[in-house]
Amino acid sequence: MSALQTSFLFVSEGVDWTRMAALLFASILVLSSLILAYNIFWHPLAHFPGPLHYGATIFPWAYHAFRGTLPFETLKMHNKFGPVVRISPGQLSFIGPAAWQDIYGTTAGGQNPKYRKFYQALGFNGIIAENVVAAEKDTHKVIRNLMIEQMHRKFRSEGQRLGGAGDTNRTPGMDIFDLQEWFLWATADIIGDLAFGESFNCLQQLKRPRFIALMSMAAEAGSKSVVLWSLGMRLVVQAIAYCAGGHLLEVLGDLRATLTSRIESGAGGDDLMEPLIAAQKTGHLTFDHVLGTASVLVIAGLETTVVSLTSFVYFMATNPVCLARLTREIRSMFPAEDEICLSKVEELKYLSACIKESLRTYTPAAVGMPRIITNEGRIIAGRYIPEQTVVSVSGYASTHSSMYFRKPFEFHPERFLGSPDFENDVSAASQPFSLGPRACIGKTISYATMRLVITKLLWNFDIESTRESRRWLDNQRAPLLWRKKPLMIKLKPVKRDPLRSTAQ
């Protein structure tokens, strides 16, 4: 036996390992108790209302965020404690129009920066290329201005052609159909046309492209990474990035190939990528800026639009009076299907009200996008918030609070048509695409796509709910965005006399 081994045995024999373990456990217990006591009694946010266990530790927030039940729990807390609630030791949740403006808008104190840890985890710590969402302020402004100008130009000039992208005649011939899947195909084709000047041909092939399946897996993993990162489990996030991030890299690889082909061919000169490609050629933007922005348009735009369309049809199918009124408006406006275009569908007032109510009732981003308070603190909704506080508005809680909406869980498009029954509603509490300089740049695309697809669907088909679809809202989950669920709807083609130009 070596001298080193002999020394180790001698030391080991002289140590009471049971006592050492007890001391270690006691030390951890004392330290944890001190941290809990500090968070409850002496933390800068200790005086804000909220459940005691949420303010003491991050674990209750992490539990519900991981399960996808955080929007519902946040609503319960706001109903009990009011418009501002402490949802973790260093995080506050707000609801209401003043909070929307103070957190996400531009105020006298400037903009509240994004909480970088959230977006780092969501992007698997750098796997996602730089884009319009994560770009720094100056770069973001350049990209956003170029994109918005091109969106307006394209929609003004090509509303008629884009109207053909959601071709309902390519719906499979069956009585009951999963409209969530069909919306995914139609939206992918429209966004491909807008972003790259060419369709992904999902409706022709009646199947989703490979990148969509990979994208869904990566998005789910990204939402889990946010929670794990908040718990300090960076090694676990790296492991997830190694596995799920591979799917995301495949998605970006497909988009990179599409974008490279678009640049090399010079085709699609009026698509949304054109001004960014021109800026990249002059050195004002990098290729990663262009690729990242394209990925956001396809990934985020597709997810939010499909969810919004699916929820819209659910609310229509389960509210037959609203459905009948909307169907009459659409079919009386368009004697023939080829007359359906963007400029005309924007004139459908009841359709616009139904879309607004659907987005209020089932807001696309149910979880608040976090910002962080810097410098010497900030006034938000009349309350002083100390620096280094993470703040957000819960979209779901804000739109389902009786403080701002009468009958918040019921579907009433009339609230956006000036009905006296809802004259006390505060419509500014609903911001489905956020607001301010960092508001969702895909808002224009989503509204245009929803108007076109819904109009074409109801012009061609009578729709009816099924037993399965009536329970579509049950057990919903939103780790970040809502998880997509099948929506089985009965479709009955409208029979029209080919010799007559008016709808029956």
Range with the lowest mean pLDDT among 35-44, 236-245, 281-290, 348-357?
Answer: 236-245
Res 434: pLDDT: 84
**pLDDT for residue 446 is more than 90:** no
Q: Distance between the two ends of the chain, CA-based, in angstroms?
A: 99
CB environment 365-401: b (16+ within 10 A), e (fewer): bbbbbbbbbeeeebebbeeebeeebbbbbbbbbbbbb
DSSP 129: P
User: What residues are paired with 176 via a beta bridge?
Assistant: 490
Domain 129-356+441-476, CATH class in plain words? mainly alpha
Split at pLDDT 50, 70, 90, the class of 430 is very high
pTM: 0.84
**pLDDT for residue 503 is more than 50:** no
**pLDDT for residue 166 is more than 60:** no
Distance from the Cα of residue 152 to its chain's centroid = 23
Contact, 466 vs 489, CB < 8 A?
yes
**Rg (the chain; Cα; Å):** 26
**pLDDT for residue 336 is more than 80:** yes
User: What residues are paired with 86 via a beta bridge?
Assistant: 92
Range with the lowest mean pLDDT among 140-149, 358-367, 375-384, 451-460?
Answer: 140-149
Res 331: pLDDT: 96
**pLDDT for residue 132 is more than 50:** no
H or E element at residue 464: strand 461-465
Closest CA to 487 of 358, 365, 381, 366: 358
Pair of tokens at residue 445? 């695309």
Cβ neighbours around 237 below 10 Å, total: 25
**408 or 280, which is more confident:** 408
Pair of tokens at residue 481? 């965005």
Q: Report the pLDDT averaged over residues 353-361.
A: 97
Length of the chain: 504
Residues 6+ apart with CB under 8 A from 490: 175, 176, 463, 464, 465, 466
What would the pLDDT profile of 54-79 be if each residue is shown by its tens digit?
A: 999 999 999 999 899 999 999 999 99
Alpha carbons 200 and 167: distance in angstroms, whole number? 13
User: What residues are paired with 177 via a beta bridge?
Assistant: 489
| β-pair type (390-393, 91-94) | parallel
Range with the lowest mean pLDDT among 39-48, 95-104, 143-152?
Answer: 143-152
Res 6: pLDDT: 55
Q: Report the pLDDT averaged over residues 402-411.
A: 97
Contact, 306 vs 324, CB < 8 A?
no
Split at pLDDT 50, 70, 90, the class of 131 is very low
Phi-psi sector, 104: left (phi>0), alpha (psi -120 to 50), beta: alpha
| Average pLDDT taken over every residue of the chain | 81
Range with the lowest mean pLDDT among 27-41, 206-220, 317-331, 389-403?
Answer: 206-220
Range with the lowest mean pLDDT among 302-306, 321-325, 386-390?
Answer: 302-306
Strand, coil or helix: what is 92?
strand
**473 or 23, which is more confident:** 473
**pLDDT for residue 269 is more than 70:** no
DSSP E strand boundaries for 228-387: 371-372, 378-380, 383-385
**pLDDT for residue 413 is more than 70:** yes
**pLDDT for residue 284 is more than 80:** no
**pLDDT for residue 47 is more than 60:** yes
Residue type present at position 102: D
**pLDDT for residue 12 is more than 70:** no
Handedness of CA 429, 435, 440, 441 (dihedral sign): positive
* Pure H helices in 406-496: 443-460
Strand, coil or helix: what is 318?
coil
Contact, 187 vs 194, CB < 8 A?
no
Domain borders along the chain are 129-356+441-476
Alpha carbons 479 and 67: distance in angstroms, whole number? 7
**pLDDT for residue 40 is more than 80:** yes
Q: Report the pLDDT averaged over residues 449-465.
A: 91
Strand, coil or helix: what is 266?
coil
| β-pair type (84-88, 383-385) | unpaired
Alpha carbons 217 and 243: distance in angstroms, whole number? 10
Pair of tokens at residue 229? 């990162």
Query: 3-state secondary structure string, 344-361?
Result: HHCCCHHHHHHHHHHHHH
Res 63: pLDDT: 94
Q: Report the pLDDT averaged over residues 459-481.
A: 90
**pLDDT for residue 353 is more than 70:** yes
Q: Report the pLDDT averaged over residues 114-122.
A: 73
DSSP 15: -
Alpha carbons 157 and 151: distance in angstroms, whole number? 10
Closest CA to 460 of 328, 319, 310, 331: 331
Contact, 92 vs 48, CB < 8 A?
yes
**pLDDT for residue 19 is more than 60:** yes
From the number of C-beta atoms within 10 Å of its C-beta (0-12, 13-18, 19+), residue 148 rates as: middle
Cβ neighbours around 12 below 10 Å, total: 9
H or E element at residue 488: strand 488-493
